[in-house]
Amino acid sequence: MCGRYTNTLKREDLARIFPEAAHLADATGCERFNIAPTQDVLAVVERKGERRMGPLRWGLVPFWAKDVKIGAKMVNARAETLDSKPAFRDLVAQARSRCLVVADGYYEWLRPEDPKAPKVPVHMALAGRRPFAFAGLWTWWRPPEGGERLATCTIVTTRANAEVAHVHDRMPVMLCDDDSRDAWLDPANDAAALAPLLEPLAAGLLTVTPANPCVNSHVNDGPECLEAPDAPLTLL
């Protein structure tokens, strides 16, 4: 799964991989070290052939939902059931409802050998903490009583690869190059054509490093989240 992640780059550095970042009104969403569900996240969407980057609330709220609170339970969408779950099947079939959630790493929690010991956070990233995108879905939701529309999203997950499996049995779908990101947003691709993109990241591409326990609280969102803990941690 994916319940916390990072997008630590400055806007100008992010724009080298995602040109859309150059047109952001401000740097909100950049230099984030502990992004949590129900917060606004940076994402790229494509409408009428034009890509735009902007904020989406993390936690998908289907258009038919009566309460925005359902979004807290829909921060992830399983790749294996995208085409069968009512909340996701229409979204994955339409390119305008797919998005790229911008990131440079994510957190998981390692269970120590001692069952009484607390879980230990680790950070997973590409070499050099190179930015990438999670495959995402997004939609609009309007409160039943009326009011402003809310744009919300979810991150697609798949089975874990060998590097992640000792920590968790799921991992986010990571789109690490222009071709895969273009394919995810391509309106010519239906759900069946997207299947190869939903495979786990190839082994050997992720680095797994200890994170600071302060990341356990979403209130902490600074560089200290990625500072190694005082006590040594052995990663399997």
Residues labelled as active-site residues = 2, 108
Using an 8 Å Cβ cutoff, are 136 and 97 in contact? no
Q: What b/e readout covers 175-209, taking b as 16+ CB neighbours within 10 angstroms?
A: bbeeebbebbbeeebeeeebeebbebbeeeebebe
Q: For residue 30, what are the contacts with CB-CB under 8 A and spacing of at least 6? A: 7, 9, 10, 11, 14, 21, 24, 42
The whole-angstrom separation of Cα 147 and Cα 139 is 16
The whole-angstrom separation of Cα 57 and Cα 61 is 9
Give the 3-state secondary structure of residue 90: helix
Distances (CA, A) of 15 to 10, 22, 98, 186, 213: 9, 6, 20, 21, 30
